[in-house]
Amino acid sequence: MTRTGSARTAYPLTAPPVGHDESALTHHTPGLPPIHAGVTVLHSLHPHTSTRHRSSETGHIGKLESSIGDTAESKDGEQRVVGNPVEKSLPAASPDLNPEVNANLVLEAWNVVDQVYLDARGKGFDREAWAAKRDEALKHPIRSRIAAYSAIRGLLGSLHDPYTRFLAPDQFQALSKFDVSGIGLNMGEVDDDAGVTSLRVLGVVHDSTAHAAGIRQGDELLSVGGVFVKGKSAFEATSLIQGPVGQPVTLQLQRPTGETFEAVIPRGKEAQQPVTYKLQKDAEGRPAGYVKLRDFSALAKKGVVDAVEKLREAGAQSFILDLQDNLGGLVQAGIEIARLFLGEGETVVYTVGRTPETQKNVLAQGQALFSAPLIVLVNESTASASEIVAGALRDNCRALLVGNKTYGKGLIQSVYELSDGSALAITVGKYITPGHIDIDKYGIEPDFLRTPGPFNWFLPLPSVKESEGKLKSCVPPEIGPPKLPSVASVVKS
């Protein structure tokens, strides 16, 4: 769910063909590189031209999106999504044996890396050496599409970045089919020529319940279940759409022509609630609310809010947010969770990269959900969105971290579609905590190192005296972006 101008279409990454998807999936073996984490946008490129970089906004990170492209009538009169790798296939007179077409595809991939890649881990990205690799790759005729893909993989492999990779059309197809709205909609925030933002349908999954209800690309979403969505993000709108399988949701939409209509759509699947909670005792025997967050899905924020409210009603005087073994998920969900505990204007996270779209300062909005003492449990499998939350709460002196050092995954990847339906997942930036800690390079050290016991794995917790002493010594972060070496310094011109 990405903000984009009226003349451009930006598509977020959804489900990965391989590895771990920080945007939608939750299970990942540390050490296997995820497809992306963070400001993840699907970019459609145009061959033989310079890259048209679609804007991505940190306030809309790691989104829930599904299919992409326009809809058109097929010969049998059926509406289908086109301009989409899910529907694309090479024509009968396939260009895959044309050396010129294959060379242009390799050059297309090379140009994307040249324009947006960030050598976030300092492997050494020399522009002259990169140009020489292009010349080497194009020195001989590329007589097959397989050879072109091999050349692209070779170019990306020379970067020594496990998160920058090539996606063949079938892999990208699997990614594009992913749908977490439950009804087959891909929503996005679109600015018109006057700068007015609306929520519009960027794509509809063929054979989905939304498609059957007549919803088409370009339709504007006005309300969900009677709740008007003006001023809401695409992320929030998708959260409203989700619900129990089979239970209908009523959407009010408006065609590009101005015609409004209502669609009653049965939900096709139900997202799993990622939050569990209970009331227990703290180190001094007082009632404490324990909230376990397994992953950052679109339901995470509502689940945490509901849990906190019920625990407060039950008498909780302090809270424990358990992020152990939480490998991430939707980064936007992580930002929303962090905002629940921070005050207006406090920094949640910084992003840095080579392009203006990756230079962001994400701020908290509104009042904190509560001011009671808060402990966050972390371990070596606390990663990505979880690290953003942990860093934001610790650096703003809002919570103490207890457990073990976090995993250390703070890179931002974007996915760029190539002209033949293949794609590139490319590192374009990184996350920095409010206290200017490079998450990816270091991970986050806890305030209190604790090794889980065999029976009570979330204890022992620090005493009230220990906690108060640590918080009193906490120094709020500087106001302003991190004072890091210029990103230009990691890319030799």
Residue spans per domain, the chain: 3-177, 190-266, 275-408+437-489
Res 203: pLDDT: 67
Please determine, for residue 26, whether its predicted confidence score (pLDDT) is greater than 60: no
Q: Which of 260, 263, 217 is nearest to 65 (CA)?
A: 217
Please determine, for residue 346, whether its predicted confidence score (pLDDT) is greater than 90: yes
Alpha-helical runs (H) found in 275-324? 300-313
208 is known as an active-site residue:
no
Fold category of 3-177 in CATH: Transcription Regulator spoIIAA (3.30.750)
| 412: phi then psi, degrees, rounded to nearest 5 | -115, 125
- 293-320 pLDDT tens trace: 998 877 889 899 999 999 999 999 999 9
Question: From start to end of 178-309, where are the E strands?
Answer: 185-191, 197-204, 220-224, 227-228, 248-254, 260-266, 275-281, 287-293
Helix, strand or coil, per DSSP, at residue 437: coil
Which CA distances in Å does 154 have to 123, 170, 400, 402, 404? 16, 19, 45, 43, 38
Q: How far apart are CA 392 and CA 55, in angstroms?
A: 25
Fold category of 190-266 in CATH: Pdz3 Domain (2.30.42)
Res 128: pLDDT: 93
Confidence of residue 348 (pLDDT cuts 50, 70, 90): very high
DSSP β-ladder status, 185-191 and 3-5: parallel
pTM listed for this prediction: 0.66
Q: What percent of the chain has pLDDT over 70?
A: 71
Tell me which CATH code domain 275-408+437-489 carries: 3.90.226.10
Res 138: pLDDT: 97
409 is known as an active-site residue:
yes
Res 58: pLDDT: 27
Q: Is the Cα dihedral 139, 140, 143, 144 positive or negative? A: negative
Please determine, for residue 475, whether its predicted confidence score (pLDDT) is greater than 70: yes
The more confident residue out of 452 and 48 is 452
| Angle at alpha carbon of residue 309, lines to 306 and 310, rounded to 5° | 85
Confidence of residue 72 (pLDDT cuts 50, 70, 90): very low
Please determine, for residue 479, whether its predicted confidence score (pLDDT) is greater than 90: no
- 169-217 pLDDT tens trace: 888 776 655 566 778 887 777 766 666 778 888 767 766 788 889 998 7
- 351-391 pLDDT tens trace: 988 877 778 899 998 899 999 999 999 999 999 899 999 99
Q: Which of 59-63, 252-256, 447-451, 479-483 has the highest mean pLDDT?
A: 252-256
Please determine, for residue 2, whether its predicted confidence score (pLDDT) is greater than 80: no
Confidence of residue 483 (pLDDT cuts 50, 70, 90): low
Catalytic residue among 384, 386, 414, 422: 384
Please determine, for residue 135, whether its predicted confidence score (pLDDT) is greater than 80: yes
Catalytic residue among 63, 360, 409, 430: 409
Give the pLDDT mean for 252-265.
Answer: 94
The more confident residue out of 69 and 127 is 127
